[in-house]
């Protein structure tokens, strides 16, 4: 389905992503982990074409999307929906209208200016909200919802695009543990029930292990691990986060406890 071929992004003298190569040959849920500044967000933004690559190619179903422009680029961004850490909703707009904004790429300028939505789209938006457990909030302003509810509205907006791939950039980083679990379970169900690929930048090892079929580890812009969650051993984690790391970038104190006393002792001796 999707091939990332030696993708590189430079910002002046700094290399944010360094010849990253990934192949996604079937729908799956992938967690991308690594320290802050490892290149995770830049990688997703290049895939979605929010940021242009300096070198390399992005191929989807055999089509090179790296150099798409104008309408073709917008069409690709509809196929490859993006979810952000800070939700990117219109706070004073009602929830269902925020969801309907997922159809903007296929609507006329006139319809966009006057917020004219077909009744079929409105019904579909409410159905998606119901699927995510927040249909009762459809008429409320987005700003009246909790962070977890707002993130589910953002997921609903992405689903309105009917994408083949969903990219989620730290979707739970600003949420409390209960809302984080709800959001991750929603993304997992979307993958399993719809057959869509989900690629999520994640902040914790535990979350990647629990929800993902595959884990990609990045360090200093490079992909240093690509494998199954059960292959994410202590040694691999240390390679991703750095020898001697206390996993402060990888896990909360509770999750560190789940790694076991043996791991902590090994890290202390590093």
Residue 85 forms part of a structural domain: yes
Residue 28 forms part of a structural domain: yes
- Distance of CA 46 to CAs 175, 178, 239, Å? 25, 31, 25
More confident call, 249 vs 243: 243
Residue 266 forms part of a structural domain: no
Arithmetic mean of pLDDT over the chain: 88
**Domain at 8, CATH number:** 3.40.50.300
More confident call, 15 vs 118: 15
Q: Which helix (H) or strand (E) holds 150?
A: helix 147-160
Q: pLDDT, tens digit, for every residue of 62-116?
A: 899 999 999 899 999 999 999 999 999 999 999 999 999 998 766 655 555 656 7
Total number of domains in the chain: 1
Residue 237 forms part of a structural domain: no
pTM here?
Answer: 0.85
Q: What 3-state class would DSSP assign to 253? A: helix
Residue 240 forms part of a structural domain: no
- Distance of CA 47 to CAs 40, 56, 173, 253, 258, Å? 11, 11, 21, 33, 33
Residues near 46 by beta carbon (within 8 Å), at least 6 away in sequence: 7, 9, 17, 52, 53, 58
Give the structural domain span for 123: 2-232
Q: pLDDT, tens digit, for every residue of 183-202?
A: 999 999 999 999 999 999 99
- Distance between CA atoms of 75 and 21, rounded to whole angstroms? 24
Residue 243 forms part of a structural domain: no
- Distance between CA atoms of 191 and 143, rounded to whole angstroms? 28
Residue 256 forms part of a structural domain: no
Residue 176 forms part of a structural domain: yes
Residue at token pair 């944010």: 16
């Amino acid at each position: 389905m999707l091939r990332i071929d030696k993708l590189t992004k430079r910002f002046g003298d700094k290399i944010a992503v360094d010849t990253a190569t990934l192949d996604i040959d079937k729908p799956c849920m992938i967690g991308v982990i690594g320290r802050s500044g490892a290149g995770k967000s830049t990688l997703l933004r290049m895939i979605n074409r929010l940021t242009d690559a300096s070198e390399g190619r992005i191929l989807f179903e055999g089509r090179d999307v790296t150099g798409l422009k104008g309408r073709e680029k917008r069409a690709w961004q509809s196929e490859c929906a993006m979810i952000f850490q800070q939700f990117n909703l219109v706070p004073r707009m009602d929830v269902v209208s925020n969801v309907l904004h997922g159809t903007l790429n296929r609507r006329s300028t006139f319809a966009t200016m006057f917020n004219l939505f077909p009744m079929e789209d409105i019904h579909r938006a409410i159905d998606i909200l119901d699927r995510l457990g927040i249909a009762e909030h459809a008429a409320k302003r987005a700003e009246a919802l909790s962070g977890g509810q707002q993130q589910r509205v953002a997921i609903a907006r992405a689903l309105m695009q009917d994408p083949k791939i969903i990219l989620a950039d730290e979707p739970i980083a600003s949420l409390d543990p209960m809302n984080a679990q709800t959001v991750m379970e929603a993304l997992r169900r979307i993958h399993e029930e719809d057959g869509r690929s989900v690629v999520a930048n994640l902040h914790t090892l535990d979350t990647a292990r629990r929800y993902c079929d595959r884990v990609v580890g990045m360090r200093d812009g490079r992909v240093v691990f690509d494998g199954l969650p059960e292959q994410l051993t202590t040694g691999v984690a240390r390679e991703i986060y750095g020898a001697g790391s206390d996993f402060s970038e990888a896990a909360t104190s509770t999750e560190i406890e789940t790694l076991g006393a043996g791991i902590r002792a090994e890290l202390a001796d590093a």
